[in-house]
Homo-oligomer: A and B are copies of this chain.
Amino acid sequence: MRFPTSRELDGSDAMNPDPDYSAAYVVLRTDDGYAGHGFAFTIGRGNDVQTGAIAALEPYVVGRDAEDLGALYKELVHDSQLRWLGPEKGVMHMAISAVVNALWDLKARRAGRPLWLLLAEMSPEEIVGLVDFRYLSDAMTPDEALQILKNGEKGKRERIEHLEKVGYPAYTTSPGWLGYDDDKLRRLCREALDQGFGQIKLKVGADLADDLRRLAVAREVCGSDYPIAVDANQRWDVAEAIAWVTALKPFTPHWVEEPTSPDDVLGHAAIAEGIRPVPVATGEHVQNRVVFKQLLQAGAISYLQIDATRVGGVNENLAILLLAARFGVPVCPHAGGVGLCELVRHLSMFDYVAVTGTMENRVIEYVDHLHEHFTDPVVIENGRYRAPSAPGFSSELRAESIAAHTYPGGDVWRNA
């Protein structure tokens, strides 16, 4: 599925000037009539490569028990021949993510629960059984993870009720895309405030003079204490990041996101040191739990940004939530794209209810794109994500949207 977002410059940033937001989409069906939906998010060309990688997983999944998702997940990531293509990174890992998330959608539908609640009602032992601890034991053992989850049992019921009442805090990236002029930026900042968002984010990194001007516009509209994060989308080398962010310091960025390569743990650590007290955030392109482990061990990040479809699906995100809790670093998910808001809210809500017990200093990204294509779209009220109540992982696209956006045969593309 491809959405022609490049036509309006929605989603433009310093590294991605013309994305067509896309989804390599998979549906798994059981004999008793259920279907689970999953996808990998891409930005256009290459979505077909991603689709091919998902198709290659068919023999691993068809005919299998759809309930024991710890065993099946570990089989997928440990298969030696597929593993050679990563290991646990890039196209093949995102394909596994799509399939694993579809399995979780299926399981939650069968259980009649939204995913966050299904997970929250599992025992600490069951959750630990879903996690692959390989390469993690120098940072977190299964026993330590179990203890985190056991601590999370206290007050769980009250937190579920509280969450269902007040929702989870969101921030919006909608004002901040690089392709927008200052008037549009000013208007969207005002709208963000009016809609009750407690934070916004601006893309930076293409041109320093532009960034300073755009930050001044945003500060003027939002006031001096309002949290404004900035996002460089991997644009800089280490020294350049430190110099550029130092120039932005008068505008007190709430965090600096993706200052450099997502692979560069030591680079992030050097930048964090060099721009103190401005906090560093990253994660949307971090390939797996092993890199997140190191970012935490190195003290390189103050905010950890999980992505729902890049690492190995729900199972690996459970490992990452637990790692973040162990290191006391708040998780603020990356969202936007196609359906990422729909998915990550489940993970943050599970984190609140069953892992960390707090929403303090935590926000889920919100971008107002493409939600109308989903059967269980996010609902934002007064700048907060409402807790979803429909069974599943909210990962299903509407049938009409699928028909229109299939590439290249769908109406949207045939008429282009």
Contact = CB atoms under 8 A, between A and B. Distances in A.
Interface of A: 15-20, 42-46, 48-50, 52-53, 56, 79-95, 134-138, 234, 237-240, 260-267, 270, 285, 287-288, 290-291, 293-294, 297-298
Nearest to A60: B45
A89 B85 CA distance: 9
A138 B270 contact: yes
Given A17-B80, A46-B92, A87-B262, 7 more contacts: A46-B81, A46-B82, A53-B91, A134-B261, A137-B238, A266-B294, A266-B297
B80 A237 contact: no
Contacts of A43: 80-81, 84
A13 to B, nearest CB: 9
Contacts of A234: 87
A312 B263 CA distance: 15
Q: Which DSSP category, helix, strand, loop or mixed, fits chain A's interface?
A: loop
Contacts of A262: 87
A166 B46 CA distance: 46
List the 3 shortest-distance A-B pairs measured between CB atoms, nearest first.
A90-B90, A91-B91, A138-B238
A84 to B, nearest CB: 5
A123 to B, nearest CB: 25
Contacts of A87: 234, 261-262, 285
A52 to B, nearest CB: 4
Contact of A294 (B92, B95, B264, B288): B264
Contact of A90 (B44, B86, B135): B86
B260 A135 contact: yes
Contact of A264 (B89, B95, B135): B135
Given A83-B15, A90-B91, A267 B135 contact: yes
A85 B42 contact: yes
